[in-house]
Amino acid sequence: MNEKRVLLDHGSGGVASRDLIENIFLPRLNNPILAQFEDSAIIQAGSARLAFTTDSYVVDPIFFPGGDIGKLAVHGTINDLAMQGASPVGLSLSIILEEGFTLADLERVADSIGIASQDSGIPVVTGDTKVVPRGKADKIFITTSGIGIVPDSLSLGSGHAKPGDVVLVSGYMGDHGVTIMAARSGLAIKSSIQSDSAPLHRLVAALLEQVPDGIRCFRDPTRGGVATVLSEIAEKSHVQIEINEEKIPVRPGVDTACEMLGLDPLYLANEGKCIIIADQKVAGTLLSTMRQHPEGQSGEIIGSVISLPPGRNGRVVMKTAVGGTRIIGPLSGEPLPRIC
Amino acid sequence: MNEKRVLLDHGSGGVASRDLIENIFLPRLNNPILAQFEDSAIIQAGSARLAFTTDSYVVDPIFFPGGDIGKLAVHGTINDLAMQGASPVGLSLSIILEEGFTLADLERVADSIGIASQDSGIPVVTGDTKVVPRGKADKIFITTSGIGIVPDSLSLGSGHAKPGDVVLVSGYMGDHGVTIMAARSGLAIKSSIQSDSAPLHRLVAALLEQVPDGIRCFRDPTRGGVATVLSEIAEKSHVQIEINEEKIPVRPGVDTACEMLGLDPLYLANEGKCIIIADQKVAGTLLSTMRQHPEGQSGEIIGSVISLPPGRNGRVVMKTAVGGTRIIGPLSGEPLPRIC
């Protein structure tokens, strides 16, 4: 008998990842909060409304242009909190080390975690370290969790998009994913291309301050990229999302590297960018506020939300640069493992 | 040059683990909460006083008598919250899978996580799944984090022990550690010996309800066992802790297996037991309350806290069964990797 097994694609953040969670974990952890599939859970703890999130980082290589596994872990968890409009309060840090990993490299990762934590202003308050024998892990895996405070009045969600809304991105797409894939393939790409790893909590706070009403959701397009995240939003909101290829910011060097590596920037992971769905009335204020912020300088309005044609499920349609249209599905069957 | 590298002993929860954290992480994550080395951090989130904790589970084998890696992860995180007197609110679950791990085994672990979560009444509210290629991890690693609410009036800490206090344990020592080591060595031990994996939040809540004042600290003697935890308490409280070997509950089967495997039950991990330091005035109430509880039926008073002789650092001294005394240090130089 051919036993069913875990495949690399189960970790890509696309359709297979979702199937694994929906088929194996959700029925057993029966829980409406978990089933919402947001970047963090919103839970009530006494009088506090908290965001709570976790992610494991298994990126390969662990050091890459623009960052390393430690920086990524700190920023990734801060961003998952920020995407729910939360003010991050503290992080946890749990490390699995392979026996024989050099202490020099561990110090380099720890340096990077320390700097990312200090620069973000979010402390690491608790942690754990485990060691497994040589060959039972790959150098270092990091799991960070985070807690944030969510304003009581705030209601964000991937199911909140409405016809007439606009779709914004906070900057160039694909930088992180292409950097990792290029590093793994040995492709020498332009030195200007590097991971976009960055914390987004200050950008989100600035946007929510300027635009207290009208933002439907923030999402960070990590594994699976903007295509997968917009597909999830379209599905959960029962809408059609139309995006304009020419409006999606992609650096020329990323475009070139994607062609050489056979990748599509729409499906590549980003680690310092967000997608925002918002009422069109606030689009101008959002865009101008975003562009004044270091993490949003290259922000763009890339599309809009329209009603679904009768009988259709939520979907994403792209107007291509050459004037056609293309249906954009979630990442499926193209494993991009260990991208974060 | 012989580069310094991570050793298995760095993950044993003893002296080497502590050195790694003190030398590499603490200086870079400079943070008074992290430096307290408690089972969970206490942080303020708005108006809420929270306990926050994380642990990675890399136990080998993943299935063992009395439990598996999933049950262990749920109970371990609940217990780290409970040790700070917190009422657990929710858990996160982050899983690193090795490509090729069977979905049948994953379902078995997920079943176990679901049952442990439901039996404890503590939901898993957020999660993540990553996959690494075959040979880059060992089957499955699980990292759980947890949030709990700590009563404002409660002040517990490993540095709070005072001369005149008593030392209690909630039951038999060493069951989990000996079960794992026996499973790995292929030793057939008595079928009555199995992991003690169990959630302690209800026991702790019952004890705090009956004894609102006078409990100095709870600690769960996982990696490094009762010897390492008592050493930490003695050091942080600047006291001498005297324990009585004859009073320490150890199952006869565990004693026998320890002799065969060359292990000392005082240094073995427990996953459903706690140590309590408390004012001697409340010792009787604590013991009787504990023994009425399913997780504390075999509880004992095993020792007392006395003043340090002049010029001494905090230490643990054991009166042995044969009438001598022995200094009990923290686990050192004896790697017991992947015990949890």
Q: List pLDDT tens digits, range B131-143.
A: 999 999 999 999 9
For chain A, give the mean pLDDT.
95
CATH assignment at residue A322: 3.90.650.10
Contact B6 A102 (CB under 8 A): yes
In Å, how far is A160's CA from the nearest CA of chain B?
A: 20
- Angle of helix A283-291 relative to helix A201-210, nearest 10 degrees, comes to 140
| Residues A65, A206 within the same domain | no
A1 touches chain B (CB under 8 A): no
Residue type, B41: A
If pLDDT is split at 50, 70 and 90, which confidence band does B191 have? low
| Residues A68, A129 within the same domain | yes
Domain boundary among B91, B118, B149: B149
Domain boundary among B98, B120, B149: B149
Contact A96 B24 (CB under 8 A): no
If pLDDT is split at 50, 70 and 90, which confidence band does B306 have? very high
Q: Is the pLDDT higher at A272 or at B191? A: A272
Q: Give the mutation candidate from B3, B5, B93 for the A interface (greatest A CB count, under 10 A).
A: B5
Q: What percent of chain B has pLDDT over 90?
A: 89
- Chain centroid to Cα B184, Å, comes to 21
In Å, how far is A210's CA from the nearest CA of chain B?
A: 22
Q: What is the pLDDT of residue A46?
A: 87
Residue type, B87: S
Q: What is the pLDDT of residue A2?
A: 66
| Residues A105, A54 within the same domain | yes
If pLDDT is split at 50, 70 and 90, which confidence band does B274 have? very high
Nearest to A21 among B50, B102, B129 (CB): B129
Nearest to A94 among B48, B54, B128 (CB): B54
Q: What is the pLDDT of residue B185?
A: 85
Whether A336 is covered by a domain: the verdict is no
Scanning B45-74 for CB atoms below 8 A from A yields 45-48, 50, 52-58, 60
Domain boundary among B149, B182, B204: B149
| Residues A184, A304 within the same domain | yes
Chain A residues whose beta carbon lies within 8 Å of the beta carbon of residue B111: 28
Nearest to A133 among B101, B107, B337 (CB): B337
| Residues A142, A175 within the same domain | no
Could you give the CA distance from residue A337 to residue A10 in angstroms, rounded to a whole number? 9
If pLDDT is split at 50, 70 and 90, which confidence band does B35 have? confident
Note down the domain range covering A232. 165-328
Strands (E), B135-270: 140-149, 165-169, 215-219, 240-244
Whether B303 is covered by a domain: the verdict is yes
pLDDT in tens, B224-236: 999 999 999 999 9
Instruction: Tell me which long-range contacts B104-107 makes (C-beta under 8 A, separation of at least 24).
Output: B104/A3, B104/A4, B105/B62, B105/B63, B105/B139, B105/B140, B106/A6, B106/A24, B106/B140, B107/A24, B107/A28
| Residues B185, B307 within the same domain | yes
Angle at A206 between CA A109 and CA A302, to 5 degrees: 90
| Residues A220, A286 within the same domain | yes
Chain B residues whose beta carbon lies within 8 Å of the beta carbon of residue A89: 43, 45
Contact B99 A8 (CB under 8 A): yes
Chain B residues whose beta carbon lies within 8 Å of the beta carbon of residue A91: none
Q: What is the pLDDT of residue B30?
A: 82
Contact A5 B101 (CB under 8 A): yes
Q: Is the pLDDT higher at B228 or at B189? A: B228
| Residues B93, B189 within the same domain | no
Residues B54-72 have a mean pLDDT of 97
Could you give the CA distance from residue A182 to residue B30 in angstroms, rounded to a whole number? 35
Whether B258 is covered by a domain: the verdict is yes
- Chain centroid to Cα A144, Å, comes to 14
Scanning B262-291 for CB atoms below 8 A from A yields none
Nearest to A45 among B53, B89, B127 (CB): B89
CATH assignment at residue A46: 3.30.1330.10
State pTM to two decimals: 0.96
Total domains present in chain A: 2
Name the stretches of chain A with pLDDT < 70.
1-2, 189-191, 335
**Nearest chain B residue (CA) to A118:** B29
Nearest to A97 among B11, B103, B135 (CB): B11
Contact B6 A106 (CB under 8 A): yes
Nearest 10 degrees: Cα torsion B232, A90, A268, A303 = 170
Model ipTM?
0.96
A99 touches chain B (CB under 8 A): yes
Q: What percent of chain B has pLDDT over 70?
A: 98
Q: How many Cβ atoms from other residues are within 10 Å of residue B208's Cβ?
A: 19
Whether A267 is covered by a domain: the verdict is yes
**In a 3-state reduction of DSSP, which class is residue A43?**
strand
| Residues B306, B172 within the same domain | yes
Scanning B131-160 for CB atoms below 8 A from A yields 131-133, 135-138, 141, 143, 145, 147, 149
Q: What is the pLDDT of residue B190?
A: 63
| Residues B231, B101 within the same domain | no
In Å, how far is B97's CA from the nearest CA of chain A?
A: 7
If pLDDT is split at 50, 70 and 90, which confidence band does B337 have? confident
Contacts of A231 (CB under 8 A, 6+ apart): A314, A315, A316, A328, A329, A330
